Chains A and B, each alone.
Chain A
Amino acid sequence: MSLMFTEFLRYDFVKIALVAMLLMTPMYGMMGTLVVEKKMAYFSDALGHSALTGIAVGVLCQWANSTVSMIGYAVVFALLLNQIRYREKASTDTIISVCASVSLAVGLAILSRGGNFSNYSSLLVGDVLSMTEDDLKVLAVLFVITVIFYVICVNSALAITIHPTLAKVKGYSVRWMENIFAVLVAVMVTFSIRWIGILLINALLILPAAASRNIASNMRQHLCLAVFFSVLCGFLGLFLSYFVNVATGPVIVIFAGVFYFATLIYSGVVRE
């Protein structure tokens, strides 16, 4: 086993990927608890898919840095979705679906001009081993921001989830909170897309928190278990994918799925 570790850590890019995992996964576990409680799983999924449109916008404007256009677009998209969620009485699900599909369609149309979509298909799956030290620094900053946000805002975010009017009476600014939260999720999701991939990024956000929700009975347990599952899946996924030579994202998500169903069955057994 220790030989495997030595082998595993022989290359710098693996070390970077490992540190990245240790920053990314707790962040996802943490924010996942709120996304799940706020019933925004679909919302964050739509944000992930908007990344393609973000890149398309970058291509149209001939910007060199696709990450910036991706994040910028996702932030605008998140705020727009929030706005519509407030305005419309129709089901949020439907609205998100409509907006996400249209946005994705526009993105795909632009990117597939002249049959060039294959240039971007690597984004669908992502590659965690392509991470650089500079990426790591940005990730570390994002990690710190997320932790600070969580510590300061978890109470108001939770209160708003429990009862928006009651939260308003208490003096929490509901709209601000919802917007900051959406922006942070948008940045987090799009920033990690190049490493985890568009198709599975949302799973990383939702699955650990959903698994933890199966067995937690209060918010402390919810948070601790979500972070624990998330870090463990990230580590196991990276480790295993290295040796069996498959993309890391899918392996992480498979592990997370195993945890989800295991906790689901466990909670069922306990209730019996």
Chain B
Amino acid sequence: MKKIVRPCGLHCIKINHFGVSFGEQVVLTDVNLHIHCGTLTSVIGRNGAGKSTLIRGILGEIPHEGNLEFRNTQDGKIRKIKIGYVPQKLQLEAAAPISVYDMITSFRSRTPVFLPSKKQRLRALEALEEFAAEELIDKKVGMLSGGELQRVLLAMAVMDDPDLLLLDEPVSGIDKNGMDLFYEKMKYLKEHHDLAVVLVSHDLDYVARYSDQVILLEETVVSSGSPWTVFSSPEFKRIFGGASYELKKEVFHEPHVH
């Protein structure tokens, strides 16, 4: 059985004065975030607002200004953060002879993928089990459906016990049933693992219902706080405008404040 760690609520991630420019063009400037473990933070904004750029910056994939700090709030110690990342999709052909086992092993083990290893197989199975994906272990990665691939990628990201889980528009192209399952899983994750979840999303309904914190991004953080705070802000109305987003307070998730 997978070990279950309750979030301690004592770790926090601070992103200080984050900025990204491509040449002359400023994509992000002076972004400050404060994220606690055991919470779900959603990043919203219109297309081109810098959401994906923020994720890529946090991942260290593109050069950026500012820094990321990971700190234990009790003793103030800073240690290196471990990031789990779930990409939107993979560039693999259906024909590629790479099984789910191969993929997990290549990312999570030193045992060369071509050597049979019972221990590694059990580890992979255990990780997949948490996301009801253990029957996929011998399937080719390129043949998985969108939902299946997402569960496998999540299992892989979580098995490393990350402090921060980053998801970039993880539910594009998934039906409503799949969306419900996905967000329930996110809730489960933040409650049963010692990690913080940050996800970029377009699905405002789900963001409202599940997030502890919402970040409205447009080059910088224009509004942040509980879903209700952000969704009722003038900035939200300006950006998502007359899109007639109906505010029913009772559907909003009321986050616990640490």
Contact = CB atoms under 8 A, between A and B. Distances in A.
Contacts of B56: 165
Contact of A218 (B97, B108, B111): B97
Interface in B4-54: none
Interface stretch (B88-96, B174-182, B184-192, B218-226): B88-96
B85 A220 contact: no
B111 to A, nearest CB: 8
A121 interface: no
A154 B113 contact: yes
A127 interface: no
Contact of A168 (B61, B99, B108, B113): B61
Given A162-B92, A223-B114, A218 B99 contact: yes
Given A156-B106, A165-B85, A219 B90 contact: no
> Which 6 A-B pairs rank lowest in CB-CB distance, beginning with the nearest?
A216-B97, A218-B99, A158-B106, A222-B97, A159-B106, A155-B106
A269 interface: no
Interface string A203-246: 00000000011101111111110000000000000000000000
A162 B141 contact: yes
A163 interface: yes
A163 B112 contact: no
B105 interface: yes
Given A163-B90, A218-B98, A218-B138, A155 B103 contact: no
A220 B105 CA distance: 12
Interface residues of B, number: 35
Contacts of B78: none
A166 B89 CA distance: 11
B113 A217 contact: no
A178 interface: no
Most buried by A among B84, B103, B115, B160: B103
A18 B103 CA distance: 36
Given A154-B114, A162-B98, A168-B61, A217 B138 contact: yes
Contact of B107 (A150, A159, A219): A159
A169 interface: yes
Nearest to A150: B112
B60 interface: yes
18 contacts: A150-B112, A154-B113, A155-B105, A155-B112, A158-B98, A159-B103, A159-B106, A159-B107, A162-B103, A168-B61, A169-B84, A169-B85, A217-B97, A217-B99, A218-B98, A218-B140, A219-B98, A219-B102
B59 interface: yes
B109 interface: yes
B18 to A, nearest CB: 17
Interface in A96-149: none
B85 A219 contact: no
Contacts of A159: 103, 106-107
B83 interface: yes
Given A155-B106, A165-B61, A166-B87, A220 B98 contact: no
Nearest to A158: B106
A223 B106 CA distance: 15
Interface in B62-89: 83-85, 87
Given A37-B96, A218-B99, A162 B116 contact: no
Contact of B97 (A167, A168, A170, A221): A221
B110 interface: yes
Contacts of A168: 59-61
Contacts of A217: 97, 99, 138, 140
A99 B42 CA distance: 45
A21 B151 CA distance: 45
B228 interface: no
B107 A170 contact: yes
A213 B95 CA distance: 8
Contact of B102 (A166, A167, A170, A218): A218
A151 interface: yes
Given A155-B110, A218-B138, A165 B87 contact: yes
B101 interface: yes
A155 B109 contact: yes
